[in-house]
Structure 1
């Protein structure tokens, strides 16, 4: 069926036609001769250094909810607020400096409580796609220098099926750790504490995460969940009984509840975590998306129409020109859109001022775009 540009303006999405494309059969991690080779059918890429407003990007939903201290399992409750999720795109393309000063990207704020506050006001976003099952998910993150917060990047279904990378700012100046978690019924039975379960690992990373952006990544298949920093694998969990097996969503959160053994704090001053991008390559549990993949891949030339996902092997930077220097690669920024045919893509160029995908423009589809 077809829908008008007016509909595209409302949704900010375009599903570009199913002509032959470079990546029509999907996106892969690792080479075909690797034991960890995996192919994913769908794509979500967000370059927050060029996104003028997170509320205009239908890929993401700023969260707004409140929980008390008991449910938060800390000395304070948490209150996620839309105003603590702030877009700060580059003032000048390629500068790395945001229009509001500081590093360009999506800012997630954890606010210092005022006298009498029972909640810490925090920022969180969740992906609109909740059909993500098995994936390679990456984010460029620079956490806060302020003590007493947790910067969390994770995939989530519920409290027993969750893949988590957590940065505790209280650890940055001493142990320099990254905390890796697969939440399971075991952690739930411990009141949400996974630290004594076999799928928790505290990895000493050897640098202060708040000094610059790094890419944090996890690859999730039926057989394993592997964790990476700047393309280097730092841990892998292979306990199949604890590997999630249901679809869920991606969440980025910056929070504190004053619990001494985890987030600590709350922060003595307002603290921000900056996210420069999220890139997710995944399989969809949606039967319609599965059919679309089968349709565009049918009769294709096998591995020649699967695109290898480039590894981010150095800390990511938006103020450099080449991938070797750290510039992140995005399939969705291909000028012709050939590498994202058939994908749900939200554009991040000037075309987004009208809510219209730049890929639809590049494809020359005119006044209507084809849903297939």
Structure 2
């Protein structure tokens, strides 16, 4: 796993069957739900955030839009190797019906310009779903993950160089990972082969996190489930695209601009052990 998030801990402290993907796939937005119940997760969630980018157009106020959903654009650099990368606000843009995450074609010097957003809120246990269309440009990591520090991290990551074909040191597919909760011990991970081309259309990528389990889904179908190295502390959720030229992870750097499109983000949080009031299955 790349050391890509060493600088993010400081940022966190400072910040303190295929279903339809055109709309919130899980619950009628007009329903009066007191508790959201997720299959396989004990108890329920009391809060729902649905960031819908399907109706946006270029030219709007990105920061104002994201702030409505408790999201912020990242602006910091990671001096990793072989090439540093910088999360740059200008690499996020409102597209037509999607939020565009850009990784710029590498100039050959300096940092690789990348893109990232994160939640302002810190929470423990959640069900988080992102509807995205992957980039066709090789050499990029597309991440949907929980991150407090290197030992409290859940990753659901696509590597655009190894979507369908393995490299010498990276198996093909999407990566589900619980990073090691104890330093120096192995993480828990699984590489899931794709049964479709994620660059051809939008798909929902989901992580369910409870006290003893993380479960990983694509379009509502569970692909991996872990009961080891499950995080125990609250933290933010992050979505990003980046590259550092590591031949055994991101590959690249990209020689052309990479665009990953995000149509929506849906977050269920505010976990409760008891289900009360009107319960909605999501």
- Higher strand fraction: Structure 1 or Structure 2? 2
Question: Do residues 140 (structure 1) and 131 (structure 2) align?
Answer: yes
Deviation at 1:23, TM superposition (A): 1.2
Q: Which runs of structure 2 are paired with 1:268-279 in the superposition (5 Å)?
A: 268-279=255-266
SS of aligned partner of 1:209: coil
The corresponding residue for 1:118 is 110
Matches of 1:61 and 1:220 in 2, distance apart?
22
* Alignment check: 8 A CA contact 1:54 1:60 kept: no
* Alignment check: 8 A CA contact 2:125 2:210 kept: yes
* Alignment check: 8 A CA contact 1:156 1:249 kept: yes
- Higher helix fraction: Structure 1 or Structure 2? 1
Q: CA RMSD in A?
A: 2.1
Matches of 1:263 and 1:137 in 2, distance apart?
24
The corresponding residue for 2:77 is 66
* Alignment check: 8 A CA contact 2:173 2:191 kept: yes
Question: Do residues 182 (structure 1) and 182 (structure 2) align?
Answer: no
The one of 142, 145, 165 equivalent to 1:151 is 142
Deviation at 1:185, TM superposition (A): 4.2
**TM-score (ref. length: structure 1):** 0.61
Q: Which runs of structure 2 are paired with 1:11-26 in the superposition (5 Å)?
A: 22-24=32-34, 26=35
Matches of 1:37 and 1:209 in 2, distance apart?
31
Deviation at 1:75, TM superposition (A): 1.1
Q: How many residues align?
A: 241
Matches of 1:60 and 1:162 in 2, distance apart?
19
Matches of 1:272 and 1:163 in 2, distance apart?
23
Matches of 1:252 and 1:42 in 2, distance apart?
20
Deviation at 1:122, TM superposition (A): 0.4
* Alignment check: 8 A CA contact 2:179 2:187 kept: no
The structure number with the bigger radius of gyration is 1
* Alignment check: 8 A CA contact 1:139 1:277 kept: yes
**Structure 1: unaligned runs, 5 residues or longer:** 1-20, 89-97, 99-103, 191-196, 285-289, 310-372
Matches of 2:103 and 2:221 in 1, distance apart?
29
The corresponding residue for 1:10 is none
The structure 1 segments of at least 4 consecutive aligned residues displaced by more than 4 Å after TM superposition are none
C-alpha spacing 1:260/1:277, structure 2 compared with 1 (3 Å): same
Matches of 1:105 and 1:232 in 2, distance apart?
23
* Alignment check: 8 A CA contact 1:111 1:271 kept: yes
Question: Do residues 128 (structure 1) and 128 (structure 2) align?
Answer: no
